[in-house]
Amino acid sequence: MAKKNQTLGEFIIENQASFKYTSGELSRLINSIRLAAKVVNHEVNKAGLVDIIGAAGETNIQGEDQQKLDVYANDKFIQTLTNRNIVCGIASEEEDDFIVVNSQDENHQNKYVVLIDPLDGSSNIDVNVSVGTIFSIYRRVTPVGTPVSKEDFLQKGSEQVAAGYVVYGTSTMLVYTTGDGVNGFTLNPAIGTFYLSHPNMEFPEDGKIYSVNEGNYIHFPIGVKKYIKYCQEEEGDRPYTSRYIGSLVSDFHRNMIKGGIYMYPKSSKNSNGKLRLLYECNPMAFLAEQANGKASDGFNRIMDVQPTELHQRIPFFCGSKNMVEKAEEFMKENS
Ligand code: AHM
Ligand code: MG
């Protein structure tokens, strides 16, 4: 039972027994993500100071090398997950290939792999707009004790055991699911503790917000163009409101609370859209479904897609159920 104001640490312990496989390993893993999120949050919040204490590629007054924040976030998450020795493999949007953890040690019993987009929407950092971290967790399919291989990462989204995001916004929140609903925790920066602030988050079935980069309009498929026109039509509860931050985590977070749809369709410029199936779409799809929403590539359920490449891209339609279904209707009629 989610109790408001419970700390994330308490919540993890209390809910450990409800995980499908209880060994404490998944709890430890989520605890590490919590820790890395706090470290990255601290750095993201200082982003504006970089100009004063030294820009990326330079050395700051303490003699430390300044890093770009997305590189920093990538390093911190990977370090935390490998140091605590609780995963057997990591794949990151920032890395070309997956990372094998613990391959030297035959006795290691770690069962989970983590896929991560350490700092999504990072083009927003320079202008003080929210960014996020997205993570996705699977049980490995190859035998425990052997080095992980690509097939451990190329699993359908429906195999995820947990997924979540951290949004570094006006306040910092960690929102995640282990397949039993979605809960959101807000960081109290003064004491560095996440508190359960948003128990059992759910998308309203209908919404009035559509989020899409309309600058790409002329390149969109006809179904998307018609759906956008439908959103803008004066009829019933329409026109809808257009809201697009350009930071998937923030756009998703707002739409989950208020009701809305996020779209990154394919276009005549990008035949598979922009977003990555493994690091962005699958975890968001798992959260959406756990929150009563829906995620689709315009025709099919995102989490049913069999991945073939680590950095595969896919068109993405995600949010309030009725809105996603309406967009799918337009896609089908015009395909
Ligand atoms: P990134 O992983 O390079 O940060 O790109 C992903 C981001 C999403 O957060 C956001 O929704 C989208 O790219 C915005 O793209 P665009 O600027 O083309 O609208
Ligand atoms: Mg990204």
More confident residue, 295 or 27: 295
Tally of domains within the chain: 2
Kindly provide the b/e burial profile for residues 68-91, where b requires at least 16 CB atoms within 10 angstroms of the residue's own CB. ebbebbbbbbbebbeeeebbbbbb
Say if residue 272 is in the same domain as residue 192.
no
**What domain range is 287 assigned to?**
209-333
**Residues 152-180 pLDDT 10s:** 999 999 999 999 999 999 999 999 999 99
The predicted pLDDT at position 14 comes to 86
Ligand 1 pocket test, candidate residues 95, 123, 252, 274, most atoms within 8 A of CB: 274
Residue 62 pLDDT greater than 50, yes or no: no
The predicted pLDDT at position 33 comes to 95
The predicted pLDDT at position 125 comes to 84
Give nearest CA residue, ligand 1 atom 7. Answer: 121
Say if residue 218 is in the same domain as residue 192.
no
Nearest of 261, 265, 268 to residue 316 by alpha carbon: 265
- The alpha carbon of 28 and the centre of ligand 1 are apart by a number of angstroms equal to 30
CATH number at residue 148: 3.30.540.10
Residue 73 pLDDT greater than 90, yes or no: yes
Cα 224 to Cα 61: distance, rounded to the nearest angstrom: 50
Residue 18 pLDDT greater than 80, yes or no: no
| Contact yes or no for 154/138 (Cβ under 8 A) | no
Domain boundary residue among 176, 198, 220? 198
Say if residue 34 is in the same domain as residue 157.
yes
Cα 74 to Cα 67: distance, rounded to the nearest angstrom: 11
Q: Which atom of ligand 1 is nearest to the CA of 132?
A: 9
User: Is residue 37 very low, low, confident or very high in pLDDT (cuts 50, 70, 90)?
Assistant: very high
Q: What are phi and psi of 162, to 5 degrees?
A: -160, 155
- The alpha carbon of 9 and the centre of ligand 1 are apart by a number of angstroms equal to 31
What is the CB < 6 Å shell around ligand 1? 93, 117, 120-122, 213, 246-248, 274
Q: Which atom of ligand 1 is nearest to the CA of 245?
A: 11
Say if residue 165 is in the same domain as residue 37.
yes
Q: What is the pTM of this model?
A: 0.94
- Residue 151 belongs to some domain of the structure: yes
Say if residue 179 is in the same domain as residue 295.
no
- The alpha carbon of 145 and the centre of ligand 1 are apart by a number of angstroms equal to 37
